[in-house]
Amino acid sequence: TVKLAYVDQSRDCLDGDKTVFEEISGGAELLTVGRYETPARAYISRFNFKGGDQQKRVGQLSGGERGRLHMAKTLIAGGNVLLLDEPSNDLDVETLRALEDALLEFAGSVLVISHDRWFLDRICTHILACEGDSQWTFFAGNYHEYEEDKKRRLGEEAAKPKRIRYKPITR
């Protein structure tokens, strides 16, 4: 059975009036993560919300903190397919590395939309790329390998990114 879990870049599902602890645990001291029970505060601290940080209001968090909180909330919901929209946005280096490691160990499937080429190179095993003119390419390998294959298939010039020109809207 497929169970989707989704992290978007706007993080609109977070309640700005709740504390970090309330948003994740709903006030419960124990959480079920997968098949295991874990103390709520210990789970939250794994996302770098330690001590007093767990009592901060969600509305007062920085973009990176909101990203970590949203990821923690999504993972607690459980899912075997993760949909991640720009997950590396606003993350500090330490958190980004932790996210990369967690995704590499994740037992399910992950669909990532990102402009962060280094992030994609580290975590991707397959690429589904829109190459323009409604052409889609599926490639087994990381982002760097995909770029090399694209140059080989399309030629050096054709593989370079091109600025898309849009028609002006007229009334």
Q: What is the pLDDT of residues 98-143, one digit of tens each?
A: 788 888 888 889 999 999 999 999 999 999 998 877 889 999 999 9
pTM: 0.73
* Structural tokens at position 161: 């990114």
Domain range for 107: 4-123
Regarding whether 92 and 72 lie in a shared domain, the answer is: yes
Q: Which of 4-13, 27-36, 137-146, 158-167 has the highest mean pLDDT?
A: 137-146
- The pLDDT score that the predictor gives to residue 98 is 79
CATH code (residue 77): 3.40.50.300
Q: 77: which residues sit within 8 A by CB, 6+ positions away? A: 5
Nearest-angstrom CA–CA distance, 170 and 56: 48
Please say whether the beta carbons of 104 and 126 come within 8 A.
no
Beta carbons within 8 Å of 24's beta carbon, 6+ residues apart: 31, 40, 43, 44, 69, 72, 73, 76
Q: Residue 143: what pLDDT? A: 94
Judgement on whether residues 72 and 35 belong to the same structural domain of the protein: yes
Q: Do residues 29 and 105 both lie within one domain?
A: yes
Q: Do 132 and 95 share a structural domain?
A: no
Give the distance from CA 145 to its chain's centroid.
21
Pairing of strands 126-130, 136-140: antiparallel
Task: Assess whether 32 and 82 both reside in one domain.
Answer: yes
Judgement on whether residues 81 and 161 belong to the same structural domain of the protein: no
Whether the pLDDT of residue 163 is over 80: the answer is: no
DSSP letters of 74-110?
HHHH--SEEEEESTTTT--HHHHHHHHHHHHH-SSEE
Residue 5: predicted pLDDT:
87
**Is 145 in the same domain as 115?**
no
The answer to whether residue 167 scores a pLDDT higher than 90 is no
